[in-house]
Structure 1
Amino acid sequence: MGPESLGVILRLAIPSVVGLSIHALQQLVNAIFVAALGALGTQAIAAVSMTLPIVVLLAAAGQGIGVGTASFISRHLGAREYLEASRGASTALALTAPIGIATVALLPNLPGIFATLGATPTIMPVALDYAGTLLFGYTLMLLNIVSGFIVRAEGRPRFSIWAMMTAFLLNAVLDPVFIFLLDLGVRGAAHSNAGIADRCYWNLYHVFYEAWRDSSRQDISPIAARRSHQTARVGGRAGDNSILSALAVMLLYGAAAPFGDVSIAAVGIAVRILMVGALSPGSV
């Protein structure tokens, strides 16, 4: 591998790794503010922690579509087939939106899911408040995940990282406003994250699509079965890691549940700290 190839790899890889670190830090910041909820602190952090593996499990769909789409776009841009790359990106976004909307169907099943994870009677209502609010913003989160892969596949990873940093800083500022000033508790953390920050994130990507007319999103075409199949074939394996990670965390919560709310909260804090370490640039 020559110096030029190594430079290209680092130019594309480092922003992606930093972006993952920002995502992990965002989860940690949310936990810090939620933990400060007075008498509800322990139950609140435990409730938010039990929601994390569900979010990771659902986000696996976005990561799978994103990885498959990035592979599709990169190959066709390299072959100078710009129209096909454009259609591949449009297909990915068109597939992502209904998947996100369909997750609202999980709302009636949330009590059973949290009971399976070992939620105690004191954690259950707080977890339902947080997860119920978060699921309504899941469509935007999925679109942001897929859009990030599209932007990086086009060779503009810096834009993706600046969008992530903007959303992270906005979330960090709005968390205490929604949680304490507006007195929304854990629902405030969900509103700040899934509502305001994710909407800002998506608006930045929308500006990107409008500003760079050569981007692969410029042509909106009907969904093609062949492109969907190729995206699923490549991206399906990429989502497996997230699914396994989410299942492993679920097992941890199940093991901690018999020891009470404090144990579940402690496992949640530990998982978030491990996420920062595992996704940090120093671990690459």
Structure 2
Amino acid sequence: MQQRTLTMDGENPLGVRPIKGLLFSFSIPAIISCLVNSVYNIVDQIFIGQGVGYLGNAATTIAFPLMTIIMAFATLIGSGGSAYAALRLGEGRKREALLTLNNLLVIAIGLGILLAATGLIFLKPILTLFGATETTMPYAIDYTSIVLMGVPFSVISIALSNMARTDGHPRMSMYGILIGAALNTVLDPIYIFVLDWGVKGAAIATITAQFVSMVVLCYYFLRKGNMRFTRRYMKPVGRVWYKIFSLGISSGITSLVACIMQVVMNNSLVYYGNQTEITGDVALSAMGIVMKIAMILASVCIGFGIGAQPILGFNLGAKKYARVRHTYLLAVSIATGSILIGWAVCQLAPHLVLSLFGKENQTFTDFAVRCLRIYLGGIFCAGFQIVSTNYFQATGQPLKASLLSMLRQLILLIPLLLILPLFFGLNGLLYAGPCADIGSAVIVALFILPEMRKLNRRIAESQGPALAA
């Protein structure tokens, strides 16, 4: 009997099925997963705020940068392993892909334990660094110490979620995240309100959900996957580890840079906001909402970038260059069209968007509208930038992928956040957003255009003999 992800003649569908259908089948689960994570963060904050109060929400806010760093490492190995396995499957080297899956599991277990232990050992200094005060520290310790115990579950589930897409089962990746998010949403009110466990209850709900997600994905690779866990392939292989880390570093850098950017942004908003009638608290709160909106809009682009990765990697390995080009151009077009719609809504109906987050005083609303329109003024470029960065990662070009992943936030946005306010005050922080978005898109174009010309030459060369015949 053929594997369910293979065609009737035994070919991998990544190399033969129509690109449009493939791209949507891989991207939609990824988009749903990204959106679920974005919405889940908001829902989690609501439960904690109602059950514990602002100090409980402060605890989760303080813990967020630490969780972002952990997520960065998990995404690094997951996306790197997925990209390398896709390339090897495209070349017909299934044993190398199996080595990647099994070595990735070993890495995820070790990395998860290491991160959890480091966080618990240095918990108080870390929380102090991220803004804990004498008042919020007890809540932050209660929440973060429990969440850290579930880090191995989280790292393993994120890594295997990426591999499920490469294995030809993007829905399994979505199921793992959806099941965990749904369980967490159910357990939160039970643990917080019914059992009166406070922030500890929220943390326990989180690690319970992460454990269940891990079990679902592990079961898939034990019993259902085309690639499966095999003990003999779990022996560490140096070249596989190197490829996993080198190909995944761009994704890890993106998350780490986002953490640094958030720290710079928060401090700058408070400093320059307090120099105006708006105040730092209002500026910080308004930008927090705008960043959540940006995260939701970007989820669609990220989903198409993630969905395109296994298709790009497999077909490059199989030397099907026309399919590589078609996949990239289609993913860029759809991602750009999608975010253009979101950008237009933010520009034309900002009050409608902001009303989803509740009503505040007029000063807050006026600044939030201005913030939404200006800071997200260049977000229409995100589809092109995100898919292009993922292209270089999927096609085995980690240096370019790493550079481009750092481009928008580390190389452009952070310096702009520090420089523009010196001349334009609080408005300078808002204009830093579109300047970074448009500037990074121009630079990404300088990288991707030569790549498309190279693909065109390869397509012409591969078609040459056939045309001559």
Flag whether TM exceeds 0.5 (same fold): yes
- 1:213 Cα deviation from its structure 2 partner: 5.2
Matched, 1:90 2:115: no
Structure 1 counterpart SS, 2:53: helix
TM-score under structure 2 length normalisation: 0.55
- Aligned counterparts of 1:162 and 1:231: Cα–Cα separation in 2: 24
- 1:256 Cα deviation from its structure 2 partner: 6.6
Cα distance, 1:73–1:25 mapped onto 2, change above 3 Å:
same
Question: Cα deviations across residues 195-223 of structure 1 (Å, max 9, x unaligned)?
Answer: x1111111111221233253243464211
- Aligned counterparts of 1:230 and 1:160: Cα–Cα separation in 2: 22
Cα distance, 1:137–1:3 mapped onto 2, change above 3 Å:
closer
What's the counterpart of residue 132 of structure 1? 145
Q: Is 1:45–1:265's contact at 8 Å kept on the other side of the alignment?
A: no
- 1:12 Cα deviation from its structure 2 partner: 1.4
Cα distance, 1:263–1:122 mapped onto 2, change above 3 Å:
farther
- Aligned counterparts of 1:220 and 1:245: Cα–Cα separation in 2: 38
- 1:268 Cα deviation from its structure 2 partner: 9.4
Cα distance, 1:185–1:159 mapped onto 2, change above 3 Å:
same
Q: Which of 25, 29, 34 is equivalent to 1:20? A: 34
Cα distance, 1:77–1:28 mapped onto 2, change above 3 Å:
same
Structure 2 counterpart SS, 1:36: helix
Give me the CA root mean square deviation.
Answer: 2.6
Q: Is 1:256–1:263's contact at 8 Å kept on the other side of the alignment?
A: no
Give the counterpart letter for 2:247 in structure 1: V
Cα distance, 1:267–1:35 mapped onto 2, change above 3 Å:
farther
Matched, 1:73 2:93: no
- Aligned counterparts of 1:168 and 1:8: Cα–Cα separation in 2: 26
Q: Which of 245, 254, 264 is equivalent to 1:251? A: 264
Q: Which of 27, 33, 44 is equivalent to 1:30? A: 44
Question: Cα deviations across residues 144-184 of structure 1 (Å, max 9, x unaligned)?
Answer: 00000110011110111122111111111000011111111
Cα distance, 1:72–1:240 mapped onto 2, change above 3 Å:
same
Matched, 1:276 2:296: yes
Give the counterpart letter for 1:223 in structure 2: P
Number of equivalences: 280
Gaps of 5+ in 2: 1-15, 302-337, 340-382, 384-469
What's the counterpart of residue 157 of structure 2? 144
Gaps of 5+ in 1: none
Matched, 1:170 2:183: yes
Higher RCO structure (Cα 8 Å, ≥6 apart): 1
Q: Is 2:29–2:171's contact at 8 Å kept on the other side of the alignment?
A: yes
Matched, 1:233 2:233: no
What's the counterpart of residue 23 of structure 2? 9
Give the counterpart letter for 1:210 in structure 2: L
Matched, 1:42 2:49: no
Select between 47-56 and 110-119 the one with higher mean Cα deviation.
110-119
Cα distance, 1:122–1:250 mapped onto 2, change above 3 Å:
same
- Aligned counterparts of 1:186 and 1:265: Cα–Cα separation in 2: 23
- Aligned counterparts of 2:160 and 2:20: Cα–Cα separation in 1: 25
What's the counterpart of residue 118 of structure 2? 105
Give the counterpart letter for 1:243 in structure 2: L
- Aligned counterparts of 1:207 and 1:3: Cα–Cα separation in 2: 27
- 1:125 Cα deviation from its structure 2 partner: 1.2
**Equivalence map 1:169-188=2 (5 Å):** 169-188=182-201
Question: Cα deviations across residues 25-52 of structure 1 (Å, max 9, x unaligned)?
Answer: 2211111100102xx4111111101211
Cα distance, 1:268–1:58 mapped onto 2, change above 3 Å:
farther
TM-score under structure 1 length normalisation: 0.89
Structure 1 counterpart SS, 2:122: helix
- Aligned counterparts of 2:230 and 2:129: Cα–Cα separation in 1: 44
Give the counterpart letter for 2:61 in structure 1: S
- 1:7 Cα deviation from its structure 2 partner: 2.5
Q: Is 1:83–1:216's contact at 8 Å kept on the other side of the alignment?
A: no
Cα distance, 1:78–1:3 mapped onto 2, change above 3 Å:
closer
How high is the sequence identity, in percent, across the aligned residues? 23
What's the counterpart of residue 347 of structure 2? none
- 1:234 Cα deviation from its structure 2 partner: 0.7
Q: Is 1:253–1:267's contact at 8 Å kept on the other side of the alignment?
A: no
Matched, 1:122 2:135: yes
- 1:101 Cα deviation from its structure 2 partner: 0.6
